[in-house]
Structure 1
Amino acid sequence: MKVLALETANEQCSVCIADENQELYFQLDARAKAQTQTILPLIEQGLAEVNIQLSGLTAVAFSRGPGSFSGVRINAAVTQALAWANDLPVIPVSTLQALAQAAYRTAGLTEVTAVLDARMQEVYIASFKLDEQGIMQPADEEQLLSYSEAEQAVKFTLIGSGSDLVKPEQLQYKAVSATAQDIAAIARAHAQQRSWVAAEYALPVYLRDNAWKKIPEQGKP
C-alpha cells in the first residue's frame, strides 16, 4: 500500500508518500500562495525518489478544507485530475482533523479544539480526541462560527491560527500547522480499511453556504 498525500489548504504546499508502516517521502514549500507552481514538481520529485508511478499508488489523499479558498480548490483539482487519469480512489481529509493530527505529532496533545481563521470575523472550529490507533478523531462537528460563538464551543486545548481570535490569551499552540505528513497519517488508516471514494467526490469543503454546493445539492447519489 502506498498513499500520496497533498496539502495546499493552508497557503503552503507539501507532499508526502507513505506506506502502511512509514513515511517514504516528504517535502514542504513554505512560501505563501506558491501552491500552483510547486505542487506538481513536488509530486514528481516524490514519485521519483520512491521509484513508483502514479498508477502504482493505492490512493490519493488531500486536505479538502475548510481553509484558504484558493488552496482548497488547488488541492481538490490536482487530486481529482491525478485520480481520474490513473483510475485511483481518493481520500478526502478534513483540514481541521489534519491540524489536530499535527498537534499530536508536534506537541503530543491528545485532546484539542482546532481553530482556523476564516476571515470575515469568523473561524472554522472542531474538537478532536486521539484514538487507540494514534489518529485524532472528531469529538463534534466542523462549524463556521463568529468569535463569540466559537468561544462557547471550545472543549479542549486550543490550537491553530484562530486560537487568539477566540481567546486572546491562548497563544501557545497558535503556530501549529498541518502538513501532508498529517494528511498521510490519517489517510493511511482509511486506506487500510479501504475507506475511500471515487475521483468525482474529490470536492472542496468550505463550510460557507454560498462558496460550494454540498454533494446532495449537486444531484449526485
Structure 2
Amino acid sequence: MSHNDASNTNTRPVAFFDFDGTLTTGDTLMPFLKFVVGTPTYYAKLALVSPVLAAYFAKLLRNDIAKQIVLKQYLAGYHIDDLFERGQRFSEEVIPAMLRPEGMERLRWHQQQGHACVLISASLDLYLSPWASRYGFDALFSSQLATRRDGRASGALQGANCHGATKRVKLMQYLAGRNAQCTFGYGDSTGDDAMLGATDNGYRWNGKRFAAVS
C-alpha cells in the first residue's frame, strides 16, 4: 500500500449504523432467543422475565441489568460454539424478512460512495458478526456474551452493553487515528443520541423517514 492509499483510507467518510429499528423494522434479540430455545420454551420463560421487561420499559431498571437477567434465563448453559452456529442460521433465515428497506438503501448508498460503514449495536455478535460480514461492513461493535471456563454462556455480558454512551465511545475508538472527511450516523431511538451527536450528519428514523438530527 503506497502512502497515498493509506492517507485515502484514513480520510474516507464514515457512516455509523445502529441495527435494531434502524436497519431492521424492530428488535432482533427476542426473536433470536425464540429461535434458540423454540416457541414453547420461549413463552414459558417470557412469563418469568416479563416483570423485568416491564420494569425496564417503565425506566425502573437499567438496560444492561434487564438484558443480563433475560439473557441468563434464556442462554445460560448453551455452549458458545452452538450459539454462534444458531446465530449464523438466524442471520440467514430470519433477519432478511426483518430488514427496513429505507435503512438498507442508506447503507447501499454509502457503500456505493466508497464510504466506510460501521455497525454499532447493543444486539449480540452471535448473529451480527455473520450478518455484518455478509453485508460488507468495515467494522462491527456489539454486545458479547461472557463464557465460563467450559465454553458455556453464563448469561452475563462480557464488557459493556453496547448502548447509549457506550456507542459514542465505540465510535470515537473507530475514528481515533483516522482523519475522516465527514461522518454520518443513523439511529432510531434516544439510545442512539450520544452516537448521532458525535457525527457531522446524524439521522434518526421517525417512523416515515430518516430525519436530520440537529
- TM-score if structure 1 supplies the norm length? 0.28
Higher helix share: 2
Higher strand share: 1
> Which one has the largest radius of gyration?
2
Higher relative contact order (CA 8 A, sep 6+): 2
